[in-house]
Amino acid sequence: MTLKICIAQLNYCVGDMPGNAQKIIDAARTAYDSGARLVLTPELAICGYAAEDLFLRPSFIQACDDAVNRVASELAGLKGLTVVVGTPIQGDSSLALRTRSVAVQQRHNAARVLREGQVVDTYAKRELPNYQVFDERRYFTPGQGTCVFTAGEGADAVRVGLLICEDAWFEEPARLAKEAGAQLLAVINASPFHVGKGDEREQTMRHRVHATGLPLLYAHLVGGQDEIVFEGRSFALQADGQLAGRAESFQERLFFTDAASHPGSVRLAAATAPERETDADLWDALVLGVRDYLGKNGFPGAILGLSGGIDSALVLAIAVDALGADKVRAVMMPSPYTADISWMDAREMAARMRVRYDEISIVPEFEAFKASLATEFKGLKEDTTEENIQARIRGVLLMALSNKFGSIVLTTGNKSEMATGYCTLYGDMAGGFAVIKDLAKTTVFRLARWRNAHDPYGTGSNPIPERIITRPPSAELRPDQTDQDSLPPYEVLDAILERYMENDQGVETIVAAGFDRAIVERVTRLIRINEYKRRQAPVGIRVTHRSFGKDWRYPITSKFKA
């Protein structure tokens, strides 16, 4: 009296409906051969998450319908197999309205229940998130019904209540599924990663099983999509909230669970992947984000400016773990202010990582710019203007190499710099993907030490020279410069940034917590006045619960002070 269930924790690609359909077909056949009679795919698996304004195109929805029909047709011969496929569907088109000024959506974030070539049931998501990186109310209208279907046959049969992601964070959808006869809750999801999110999901689902008295399966996807990353980590909970099993994080897996029916209850059994360190999750999220951004967009490799500093060192290590040394190129571009130890450390790290390494001096270009501007700048002291010229020369050189050879430029700025504007438009901000855009500087240092102590992808232990980690950080754009000439100590800056930017605390609250008022006002002012820079920054990987991306939507022009 046991139903074997398979969660297809796979890496789906937005817009690749034929490819995603084939993944589902292949997974279902493998699962069926292994004895599974229920296969769960993640939320919107047929089209990938999130397709954003592609959802507004009728041809996109039609392509999704065609792909689901193909899955149903090709699996029709697998007797007794039920497959749940996440897909967008068109609602009542007579109620839809779209003009140049008004849009009323009538499509749903849904799931089709397929069996032996037929769509036997459909469920439309009831709770639509519209916060952080989510915009589902822009595209979908809420569902109203419930979906409870039977999986398996005879004594193995289980009544399954279907929910989609946000539904399970609220009480009513699960309660209605139980009232409709569900013995097991199956939740299909597309829940973006941030540090700590995995534990938060499991705890929230425990509340759901405690409220309903039903066991729960959580089906999740894995992969990178633009700025967001999905870490997998699908899991199963018993009706009492105990963990019954958990899939690996950041890896594609067919995660099998046995659902054994007993009088009045269903017990789950599955393998359990071990708990992981926070920094291991963080590292894998960054690696997967880089690998999928380049891989899914067809870039042949990556190029970055290697300065001998901590930020570019960390980005190089991430890139090599993501792509392999043969697809990463590092370029050192010394200026008149580059210290000898920067050259030495950059060369040493490139050798440790076994990447192509080149040195291109920017001194001739810098002198040429100064000569061209000498008449205009006559009598004026050198200042940030000349510093920015150096950064922009480097940007031009990297983009020229990118254009000529096709590799994407990885920028190396961190969250602390992005917050305060300690970066140069069209200079160090020039590039196609901002790998550590959501890492505070203190996290950069911590993660560099973690990587030196671990070699998770077998690309080399201790890749970052110790001096890069221990020396005071500097942009090296003027003599004897350090970051703290312009910014508070990073321990202070990052703590204020977390409170103000990530948690919406005001100046008075932060000061009351013990921070110096002058520093708080200075930092928050820098955050406010540099919004125009951030709007022009490349997309980057989101790893905190609030990043400078989709979940930060502040006006550029504003007089409000928090």
Question: Among 483, 528, 521, which Cα is nearest to 501's?
Answer: 528
Output phi, psi for 535, to 5 deg: -65, -20
Alpha-carbon distance 129 to 108, whole Å? 13
* From 43, 166, 227, 476, the catalytic residue: 43
**Helix, strand, coil shares of the chain as percentages rounded to 5?**
40, 20, 40
Question: Among 102, 108, 120, 23, which Cα is nearest to 61's?
Answer: 108
DSSP calls for 437-503: TT--HHHHHHHHHHHHH--TTSS-SS-S-HHHHHSPP---SSTT--GGGTS--HHHHHHHHIIIIIT
* Burial class of residue 295 (count of CB atoms within 10 Å of its CB; 0-12, 13-18, 19+): middle
* From 165, 441, 533, 550, the catalytic residue: 165
Cα distances (angstroms) measured from residue 237 to each of 149, 158, 185, 202, 339: 20, 16, 10, 8, 56
* From 125, 327, 441, 550, the catalytic residue: 125
- Active site includes 125? yes
Cα distances (angstroms) measured from residue 240 to each of 206, 268, 384, 414: 8, 11, 62, 43
- Active site includes 197? no
The answer to whether the beta carbons of residues 344 and 468 sit under 8 Å apart is no
Query: How far, in whole angstroms, is CA 285 from its chain's centroid?
Result: 7
Specify the residue for token string 């994080």: 249
Find out whether the peptide bond into 271 is cis, omega within 30 degrees of 0.
no
Alpha-carbon distance 469 to 492, whole Å? 18
- Active site includes 165? yes
- In sequence order, which residues have a C-beta less than 8 Å from that of residue 320 and are 6 or more positions away? 328, 353, 355, 459, 460, 463
- In sequence order, which residues have a C-beta less than 8 Å from that of residue 363 and are 6 or more positions away? 334, 335, 336
Alpha-carbon distance 398 to 426, whole Å? 11
Active site residues: 43, 125, 165
